[in-house]
């Protein structure tokens, strides 16, 4: 797995892996997300991700939406708390077509007033759909507990009040402030020579004037654990417990990834799944998650269950957490856990879309990307003592917050 790099004179970076697939994947990762919003801009990054498809100085909305689809391709976008991503999948011969469209919607969107108002209604429906899904909403509400009074704790979608206040000018103001050329990464996985890819990048992105600046983000305040019970009209109880965790650059990130996988990762043999679901039958869905940001992170455990089983499930969870904090993994257990994680990482990279977006984000944050061999090396270096140390730092019950949606 060999990656090729290039940097345009205006600071836009390019990373590419040549594959032999007839289908190519290419994206633009912008190191700007919802955490970069000011209080009055709550939801702006996500709003922009929607409205860039509503017409440009060269194309009407229909032509934007049809440009790749007419040749069997796809174009899409998403917003996270730290990135905005525009990406497409298409037959290899249409790279130039994608570059043309991607640069057009990113830098020449016209934001027609009528289209902005229609899109506000669409996002309002999206917000309401989340309110109808407690299993989704609890993640956002828990972020608000962990990152209290900080943009990382706010829902990416924004609020109806903020959304209604957005104007064409406020959209331009946000993009002018945050869409810096040195914060943009073009990422590609496809059967195209680097020289040809650079030619397209230079033609469609190289003409942009250099716009560079230091990415300064509000630091996360001191964390205070909280417990919160919310009564909702649900059939099930939904519960989440967790803690602040390590950043993307922290050396303890890999041990926590491994620990999270052992505890409640996607494998059917995770400790929480075996104990809570398979042995006791208390719930259908139980999982743990670790998400790292540029300067912090979050670890959480989620489950949905019958209200009568909430306390019993929490007891079993804390029992497993006690084991991880107090019992060192044996040599064979550690070996199996590492093999499982390296296999899952390899499978995730079998998706060229996942790989393309992953390497783009990595370059955006670190100006570097780990090869599969380097990822495996970091996993292999984790020791049982590392796992004990991380478990006692992150999974200490005194440091964990809890949120419960209870009928």
> Using one digit for the tens of pLDDT, what is the confidence trace for 130-160?
888 999 999 999 999 999 989 999 999 999 9
Which of residues 173, 204, 235 is at a domain's end? 204
100-111 average pLDDT score: 96
**181 lies in the same domain as 276:** no
Q: How many CB atoms lie within 10 A of CB 226?
A: 13
List Cβ<8 Å contacts ≥24 apart for 65-73. 67/97, 67/100, 67/101, 68/94, 68/97, 68/98, 68/101, 71/97, 73/97, 73/98
Q: How many CB atoms lie within 10 A of CB 321?
A: 22
The predicted structure's pLDDT at residue 216:
86
Q: Would 210 be classed as within a structural domain?
A: no
**102 lies in the same domain as 188:** yes
Q: Would 209 be classed as within a structural domain?
A: no
180-194 average pLDDT score: 97
Mean of the per-residue pLDDT values of the chain: 96
83-109 average pLDDT score: 97
**236 lies in the same domain as 305:** yes
Q: Would 310 be classed as within a structural domain?
A: yes
Read off the pTM.
Answer: 0.94
Here the tokens at position 79 are: 């917003």
4-32 average pLDDT score: 97
**264 lies in the same domain as 354:** yes
209-232 average pLDDT score: 91
Q: Would 219 be classed as within a structural domain?
A: no
**323 lies in the same domain as 239:** yes
pLDDT at residue 310 tops 90: yes
Chain-centroid distance of CA 381 in Å reads 26
**176 lies in the same domain as 31:** yes
The predicted structure's pLDDT at residue 212:
87
How do residues 372-385 score in pLDDT, each as one tens digit? 899 999 999 999 99
Q: Would 217 be classed as within a structural domain?
A: no
Strand partners, 13: 7, 185
**193 lies in the same domain as 291:** no
**171 lies in the same domain as 246:** no
Query: What are the distances in angstroms from CA 371 to CA 2, 3, 136, 366?
Result: 8, 8, 33, 14
The predicted structure's pLDDT at residue 333:
97
Q: What secondary structure letter does DSSP report for 133? A: -
Q: Would 325 be classed as within a structural domain?
A: yes
Distance CA 192, CA 199 (A): 11
Q: Would 136 be classed as within a structural domain?
A: yes
Q: How confident is the model at residue 303 (pLDDT cuts 50, 70, 90)?
A: very high
Range of the structural domain that residue 280 is part of: 227-406
pLDDT at residue 346 tops 70: yes
**49 lies in the same domain as 169:** yes
Here the tokens at position 27 are: 């994206």
Q: Would 335 be classed as within a structural domain?
A: yes
**291 lies in the same domain as 197:** no
Q: How confident is the model at residue 221 (pLDDT cuts 50, 70, 90)?
A: confident
**94 lies in the same domain as 180:** yes
CATH code where residue 298 lies: 3.30.830.10
The predicted structure's pLDDT at residue 1:
67
Q: How confident is the model at residue 31 (pLDDT cuts 50, 70, 90)?
A: very high
**200 lies in the same domain as 232:** no
State the total domains in the chain.
Answer: 2
Which of residues 204, 239, 268 is at a domain's end? 204
């Amino acid at each position: 797995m060999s990656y090729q790099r290039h940097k345009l004179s205006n600071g836009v970076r390019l990373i590419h892996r040549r594959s032999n697939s007839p289908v190519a994947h290419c994206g633009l990762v912008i190191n700007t997300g919802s955490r970069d919003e000011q209080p009055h801009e709550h939801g702006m990054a996500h709003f922009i991700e929607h409205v860039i498809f509503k017409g440009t100085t060269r194309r009407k909305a229909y032509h934007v939406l049809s440009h790749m689809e007419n040749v069997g391709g796809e174009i899409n976008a998403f917003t996270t708390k730290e990135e905005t991503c525009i990406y497409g999948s298409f037959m290899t011969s249409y790279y130039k077509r994608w570059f043309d469209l991607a640069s057009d919607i990113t830098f020449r969107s016209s934001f027609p007033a009528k289209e902005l108002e229609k899109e506000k209604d669409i996002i309002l429906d999206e917000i309401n759909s989340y309110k109808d899904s407690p299993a989704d909403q609890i993640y956002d509400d828990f972020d608000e507990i962990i990152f209290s009074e900080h943009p990382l704790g706010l829902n990416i979608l924004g609020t109806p009040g903020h959304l209604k206040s957005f104007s064409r000018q406020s959209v331009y103001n946000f993009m002018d402030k945050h869409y810096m050329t040195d914060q943009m990464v073009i990422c590609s996985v496809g059967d195209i020579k680097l020289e040809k890819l650079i030619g397209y990048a230079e033609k469609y992105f190289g003409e942009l004037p250099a716009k560079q600046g230091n990415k300064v983000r509000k630091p996360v305040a001191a964390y205070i654990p909280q417990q919160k019970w919310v009564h909702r009209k649900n059939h099930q109880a939904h519960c989440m417990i967790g803690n602040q965790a390590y950043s993307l650059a922290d050396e303890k990130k890999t041990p926590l990834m491994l620990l999270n996988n052992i505890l409640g990762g996607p494998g059917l043999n995770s400790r929480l799944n075996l104990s809570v679901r398979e042995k006791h039958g208390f719930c259908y869905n139980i999982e743990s998650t670790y998400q790292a940001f540029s300067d912090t992170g979050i670890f959480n455990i989620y489950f949905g269950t019958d209200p009568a089983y909430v306390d019993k499930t929490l007891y079993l969870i804390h029992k497993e957490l006690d084991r991880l904090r107090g019992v060192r993994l044996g040599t064979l257990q550690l070996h199996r856990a590492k093999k499982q994680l390296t296999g899952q990482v390899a499978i995730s990279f079998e998706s060229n879309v996942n790989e393309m977006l992953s390497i783009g984000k990595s370059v955006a944050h670190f100006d570097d990307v780990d090869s599969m061999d380097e990822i495996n090396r970091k996993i292999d270096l984790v020791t049982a003592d590392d796992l004990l140390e991380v478990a006692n730092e992150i999974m200490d019950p005194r440091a964990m917050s809890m949120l419960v949606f209870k009928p």
